[in-house]
Structure 1
Amino acid sequence: MAAEEKTLDLLRTVEARRRRAEHGWAVDAVLTPVKQRVLNLADRGLLELADREERAALSAWEGRPVRWAARLAPDGHDLLLYAASRPRHTPPAPADSPGPGRRRIELCLSQMAALWQAVGLGARLRRPLADGLTDQVRTACCDHRVKRWVLHLTDDQIRSVAYVFWLHKTTGSALEANRFARDTGITHRPAPARRTAIPESAPLLHRPPSAAPDHHT
């Protein structure tokens, strides 16, 4: 379990114990196994510890000496509230199941930002994004284990992504295109314009002789 999740788990435990007690504190008897962790969270400002007068009142209530007790500090309360309100990300599909004809592509945040910008341009692009790429970009999920956004793309969509990164590279940042080329081996290179041979000198265009003036009019 990650350190952040352990912190949240202990805050939940303290809050659950506090709610069960009529006096509104989680006392030492129910938190003895995690005493040091409770004190550590108090040092971080996430828990409040009962002072001397509060411990005396708790001892009278409990009918035994209460050496310490804890409850959520405002920051600890808000941390739990915020954690509970965060949307749950759908875990990305396993690496071996992108579907037939598709590859699992992992992109960093700056690469996704370039794709989001291209999706926003939509039909204004003269070279449209590959079919289905817009939906892939909009529904991509972040794999927090590797801090990468996961897309399952066809070959056409991968080439379209390379085109977006070429636009991004040409207008400022090459990092995204270079990383994509390193990961996939795909880069975009504009095709040279087709043209016929250009003569060294252009032939003169001869005007037809003007009609002779009519002297009989």
Structure 2
Amino acid sequence: MSRQTRLEVLLLIREQQEKSPHGWALSTEFQPAPQRSVVTAAGQGLIELADRETRAELSAYEGRPVRWAARLSAQGHDVLTYLQASPAPAPRSAAPVADEQVVELRPSQMDALRVYTTLAPTLRVPPADGLAERVRNAYFDRPNNRWRLALTAPQMDTVAYAFYLRAITGSVAEANRFAREYGVTYRVDPTSGRHEVVRLHSPKAHR
């Protein structure tokens, strides 16, 4: 079964579950071909098939024989949740708008940034609006081993903050590289003791 077919079956099962008063998708609602795909997905642990006792209860409820019934397993549910949270990467040809800048991040920098955006609900200094979506949609330039994404100035500031957190808890390389290449860093003002974003120089140009 192809990946696309597997996802289509999971979506179909979820749709039938949501319509059903008992939370099961029934055999009577599927054509033979999708039924075979359901069985295959069940073999992969993504769908749970009802046992004999449950089928008997469903048959009594429906007033007709139920040969099989299915519902998403915990893993099947999570696959669809992950699918919806993972839009397709932006195409390489996508150009930044007037107030955006194209940024290229090394894999270690992208890893640190992903941790930061994932923690957004629990942070006191959350990411700028739209940053999490930009991170999800980033394009991986495989030949150059860089993640490319277009960012606004406020998003650049919170990227610098993410790398500041990384520097305090582990590696300073990500913050130093971002400051060197894009002229943005986050630090403590030694005179006031306040945290601030500092722009060191004009960022380098990218194609």
TM-score, normalised on structure 1?
A: 0.46
TM-score, normalised on structure 2?
A: 0.48
The structure where strand makes up a greater share of residues is: 2
